[in-house]
Structure 1
Amino acid sequence: MSYKKRAIAAVLSAALMLTALTGCGSIASADSGDDGKVKIQYWHINSENQGGATVQEFIDEFNASQDKIEVEGRFNSSYDELLKNLQADTAAGNAPSIVQVSWSNIEYFPANFSYISPEEVISNYFPEDETFLTDTFDESILNLARNSEGTLAGVPYSISNPVLFYNADLLRDAGLSEDGPQNWDEFVSFAKTVKEKTGKYGAYLQEGDTWVLQAVLESGGASMLTRDGDTATATFNSEKGKAAMQSYADMVLTDESAVHLTNLDDGLKAFNDGEVAMCICSIAKATNIINSANFDVRSTTFPTFDGEDRAVPAGGCYLAITAQEEEEQKAAWEFIKFLCSDDNAAKWVAGTGYVPSTKGAENSQILKDYLEQNPLMQAAMDQRADAVQWTAWPGSALEAQQALIDMRDQILGGTKDVSTAMDECQAKVQGFIED
């Protein structure tokens, strides 16, 4: 059996081990139980507000459909938290079988974790699935799961982009167009007017990770990372990057028209409760918003900066097989194929609001009905051509992402000015790249 062995990047401290194993629970690696079934774990980041119920529905349906495999789901609060827990459980000999890995970790994950490529699973165990990947995914989608060396680390699954949801009732109360802002300048102006006219916040931009932050900086004309051959350089603190960040910061600190909330769930609640007029976040939040908002909610594309092209990073994840035993690898592949069936891929869109990832999803009546009934999805569909890669930092990727989060919080918290914070952060990130 040929199995890719990847070195774990860092030696975990006793504190990390204790936290991960006691705080999250230590669940033994799946194996054949007394009932003869192969038991596998599926780790995901889908909370009840973002597809958690659909995940459980898939697990229940799959488990009921056959008597050889039993899947157990395990929720992790974020992609980064999942990788930290994966480090701890792998080191303790409790590796799960399938994990969701964000696109932003397409460089970090293959270099630092043990996994088996779907191409290798097919070659080793399922020759009848030789054309499954190319039959199921467009090449551009499949390539999202390849790192810079061309290694396919997993199977594409969730794809999203950030859109602007807005409360048309609140905009009308402020004397603004119910069609929403058409560009970044109007977005800033609308937010300020809402604050002045209604006393409520004009805007909230998704926090918690670097996704929407990248959309702001790159739509403003900056480039997060520049490659020249084998050399990678952090370049987000350009003049255009600083100007875009300053505009964002002014909304929070000067106009007080945008609210700074590091927890996305808090931001979504504020929007759904009618306390914020506009919310830039993942299209994957559409279902939550539809089910929670009691107002005329609409969506439009991410606002463009004057003279610049829209750049919306592809969010979501791919499914990586981290099972270490042959029978678990086979079982993991069977479950992944189940998730990628036409109707299940369509149900995933309907259950989360993600953009379809498989070719076949668009053949499903489930998806056709969903798109007809949910016009909020159109904004994300319209800007699929504006998608860029969510920056996959080489080197110490998790530390680089955290440095950017810290930079944003320092700026929006008013503890550092834009230029100082961005200059310091870029130097720090470059150090992580070169580690």
Structure 2
Amino acid sequence: MMIQKKRILAAALSAALMAGTLAGCGASAAGNDEAADGEKVQIQYWHINSENQGGAAVQEFIDTFNASQDEIEVEGRFNASYDELLKNLQADTAAGNAPSIVQVSWSNIEYFPANFSYISPEEIVSEYFPEDETFLTDTFSDSILDLARNSEGVLAGVPYSVSNPVLFYNADLLREAGLSENGPQSWDEFVSFAKTVKEKTGKYGAYLQEGDTWVLQAILESGGASMLTRDGDTATATFNSEKGKAAMQSYADMVLTDESAVHLTNNDEGIQAFNDGEIAMYIGSIAKATNIMSSANFDVRSTTFPAFEGEDRAVPAGGCYLAITAQDPEEQKAAWEFIKFLCSDDNAAKWVAGTGYVPATKGAENSQILKDYLEQNPLMQAAMDQRADAVQWTAWPGSALEAQQALIDMRDQVLGGTKDVSTAMDECQAKVQAFIED
């Protein structure tokens, strides 16, 4: 039975994907030449993987899966962001055109189960695939599997993409500015490096990923703040603490006072400027590593997210889980077969190689594909080194999309110079609390 909730709302990779990918196709999908009724089950897979973040890999997986059996036909659909995907999902579901599988960000682990219709992985196994009883625990560690559970313990989907924010840097520009080619080792050094680059080279010292609240949370919580505090059933926004404001002020000073960091709401523009050698340091998702390695014509390196003095590094786990939103039982079963295909050891490793995400499955780390990739791509090591520093990307209860937008607006007001840090953060926290209680 479908879980009903209260409101319905690049060439090397291609060659690798075609080799050995039949492993992971479920027997019921690959075992027959034709579906029972002679027609393929059509399912749609919604994702947010643009061309510079795994889009080619997504299509290769779809094409390979479709060619491997005669029962299921998968079609991909790109959405510009996780939040846009949910808005589109709301509209298409209301129109009776719900897709079968959607990527849902970890930040929406509270919002999605409360507002959309879906079938949980545990339920689909119980209903249709008893032979897969141990698939989830065999495939994922408890800590990764728990990322896809909400505060009530509901498993809303299957973990898929896991990332964390790292510091990519142009070692050539740092050397030109007289700085260590090993990059900054703390937040204070990061600020100092950025200022020196601007003074010595005239180029921007830094850009920090915008577009969502992910890196903003890393700054605030690595600075000692806590985005959300829970006391039993009570949830309270708490990011406007003195430590939170101090971290935000340091970020704002880089943009407005030192003019060493650039404020660009379009993250693709920031990445392009970094790849073009116009920005010395870029803090963003490790999932951008493949794009950066293939695009940058300089000595590009990476290091861990810069830690604040006296505070523990806190890097939100980015990425997504796969939720089955199909309404029809045959589509639900087909969706499960495709998800199992994506999660096979080699395919999970190829997903890492095609995107730069860190491995989500147990088996991926044993795949020779992943071992070879990590050996050839040292940029990945920073993300691997800070996996123990991962925290949950804050999943706001209540009106989550509105809460996330309020934080984005606050950041833009501060970095745009239209409001001071204290005023903007106080006003934002009041708004977010109201959305929590909505």
**How do residues 171-320 of structure 1 correspond to structure 2 at under 5 angstroms?**
171-320=174-323
Task: From 409, 415, 435, give the equivalent of 2:412.
Answer: 409
Whether 1:350 aligns to 2:353 is yes
Whether 1:7 aligns to 2:10 is no
Structure 1 residue aligned with 2:127 = 124
Q: Distance in 2 between matches of 1:172 and 1:3?
A: 58
Q: Distance in 2 between matches of 1:293 and 1:318?
A: 30
- How far the C-alpha of 1:54 sits from its partner, in A, is 0.3
Task: From 35, 43, 48, give the equivalent of 2:46.
Answer: 43
- How far the C-alpha of 1:325 sits from its partner, in A, is 0.6
Whether 1:59 aligns to 2:62 is yes
- How far the C-alpha of 1:8 sits from its partner, in A, is 2.4
Q: Is the 8 A contact 2:8 2:94 kept in 1?
A: no
Q: Distance in 1 between matches of 2:335 and 2:8?
A: 24
Secondary structure at the residue paired with 2:117?
coil
Q: Distance in 2 between matches of 1:274 and 1:4?
A: 50
Structure 1 alignment gaps of length 5 or more: 11-31
* 1:317-376: CA deviation from partner (whole Å, max 9, x where unpaired): 000000001000000000000000000000000000000000000111100000000000
Q: Is the 8 A contact 2:8 2:93 kept in 1?
A: no
**How do residues 333-372 of structure 1 correspond to structure 2 at under 5 angstroms?**
333-372=336-375
Structure 2 residue aligned with 1:26 = none
- How far the C-alpha of 1:35 sits from its partner, in A, is 5.9
- How far the C-alpha of 1:133 sits from its partner, in A, is 0.2
Secondary structure at the residue paired with 2:147?
helix
Whether 1:98 aligns to 2:101 is yes
Structure 2 alignment gaps of length 5 or more: 10-34
Q: How many residues align?
A: 413
Structure 1 residue aligned with 2:399 = 396
What TM-score do the two structures reach when normalised by structure 1?
0.94
Q: Distance in 2 between matches of 1:261 and 1:6?
A: 37
What TM-score do the two structures reach when normalised by structure 2?
0.93
Task: From 151, 156, 161, give the equivalent of 2:154.
Answer: 151
- How far the C-alpha of 1:7 sits from its partner, in A, is 2.8
Q: Is the 8 A contact 1:8 1:87 kept in 2?
A: no
* 1:99-143: CA deviation from partner (whole Å, max 9, x where unpaired): 000000000000000000000000000000000000000011000
Instruction: Give the direction of change, closer, same or farther, for the CA distance of 1:34–1:134 in structure 2 (3 Å limit).
Output: closer
Structure 2 residue aligned with 1:163 = 166
Secondary structure at the residue paired with 2:318?
strand
Structure 2 residue aligned with 1:108 = 111
* 1:215-238: CA deviation from partner (whole Å, max 9, x where unpaired): 000000000000000000000000
User: Match of 1:319, as an amino acid?
Assistant: L
Secondary structure at the residue paired with 1:145?
coil
Divergent runs of 4+, >2 A: 7-10, 32-35
Structure 2 residue aligned with 1:27 = none
Q: Distance in 2 between matches of 1:317 and 1:107?
A: 13
Q: Distance in 2 between matches of 1:397 and 1:231?
A: 15
Task: From 77, 80, 85, give the equivalent of 2:80.
Answer: 77
